[in-house]
């Protein structure tokens, strides 16, 4: 039997760190815990504006992945700067994503139907493949048949389907059938070429279930929910630890 792989996106640990300008929470610890617990890869997004992951983090996280013999999936925009960085690190996977400075998070898939975008992506894929043939490339796109067919003209290895709208509809109890139908169709287009079929964005422990039941996606990259839920799984434990420490030190004059 085979199961889907889980890539843990640890960008949000870096968001927390950047928000205070401290050295903690350490991204290295997040990568170590994720991989030691069984995650199949670490996903990080080095954004153009460096709002969470920093250039140095890519070294640190890649080093941990290498030590643990597991892949790093580097998400990035298809720019010359990012291509240069990817070629310096040569991760096992690069996931090309659209990037807008103003967006809160990646808001949709790549528009490969637009000639200008297609050419930029083509150059990026070709540059990566010619200098680092062992690096695999995935394209973050919507599950639109025309888009998926056009992806197959690029020198890549997989698509990652943007599940943001699906995840939102799940939370709002809307009909998921149209999404699932699109994903099924997409799977046929992509797998007929032997490419990988991945998914990510907005998924939770609950909303991933219908997708797992379908059994088409071989890999999921999940971040925001995992990190959010971890806060509550850990909060009580950390408070107990802090209170246990307090109990060791009675207030002056209270003995």
| CB 131 within 8 Å of CB 173 | no
CB 142 within 8 A of CB 162: yes
200 binds ligand PXP (CB under 6 A): yes
Is 224 assigned a catalytic role?
Answer: no
- Of 52, 136, 182, 201, the residue at the interface with ligand PXP (CB under 6 A) is 201
- Residue 203 interacting with ligand PXP (CB under 6 A): yes
The answer to whether 28 touches 54, Cβ cutoff 8 Å, is no
Q: Is 80 a catalytic residue?
A: no
The token duo for 73 is 């999936």
CA 162/CA 182 separation, integer angstroms: 12
List 160, 190, 211, 219, residue binding ligand PXP (CB under 6 A): 160
Distance separating alpha carbons of residues 24 and 111, to the nearest angstrom: 36
Contacting residue, 106, 147, 187, 207, with ligand PXP by CB under 6 A: 106
- Integer Rg of the chain from CA: 20
22 annotated active-site: no
Element (H, E) at 223: none
Residue 163 Cβ, how far from ligand PXP at the closest point, in Å? 8
Question: How many angstroms separate the CA atoms of 125 and 137, rounded?
Answer: 7
Site size with ligand PXP, rule: CB under 6 A: 19
131 binds ligand PXP (CB under 6 A): no
Query: For residues 233 and 243, which CB has a smaller minimum distance to ligand PXP in the complex?
Result: 233
Residues that bind ligand PXP (CB under 6 A): 9, 11, 45, 75, 95, 97, 105-106, 140, 160, 200-203, 221-225
Active site residues: 45, 75, 201
């Amino acid at each position: 039997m085979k199961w889907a792989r889980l890539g843990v996106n640890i960008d949000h640990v870096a968001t927390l760190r950047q928000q205070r300008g401290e050295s903690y929470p350490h991204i290295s610890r997040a990568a170590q815990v994720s991989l030691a617990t069984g995650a199949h890869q670490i996903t990080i997004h080095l954004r153009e504006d460096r709002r969470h992951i920093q250039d140095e983090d890519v070294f640190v996280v890649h080093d941990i992945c290498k030590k643990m013999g597991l892949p790093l999936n580097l998400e990035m925009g298809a720019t010359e700067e990012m291509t240069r960085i990817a070629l310096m690190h040569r991760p096992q996977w690069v996931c090309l994503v659209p990037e807008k400075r103003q967006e809160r998070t990646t808001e949709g898939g790549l528009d490969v139907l637009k000639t200008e975008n297609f050419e930029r992506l083509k150059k990026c894929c070709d540059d990566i493949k010619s200098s680092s043939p062992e690096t695999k490339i995935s394209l973050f796109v919507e599950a639109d048949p025309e888009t998926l067919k056009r992806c197959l003209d690029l020198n890549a290895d997989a698509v990652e389907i943007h599940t943001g709208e699906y995840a939102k509809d799940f939370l709002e109890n809307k009909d998921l059938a149209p999404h699932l139908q699109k994903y099924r169709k997409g799977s046929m287009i992509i797998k007929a070429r032997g490419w990988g079929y991945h998914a990510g964005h907005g998924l939770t422990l609950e909303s991933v279930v219908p997708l797992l039941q379908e059994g088409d996606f071989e890999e999921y990259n999940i971040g925001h929910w995992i990190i959010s839920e971890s806060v509550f799984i850990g909060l009580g434990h950390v408070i107990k630890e802090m209170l246990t420490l307090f109990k060791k030190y009675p207030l002056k004059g209270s003995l």
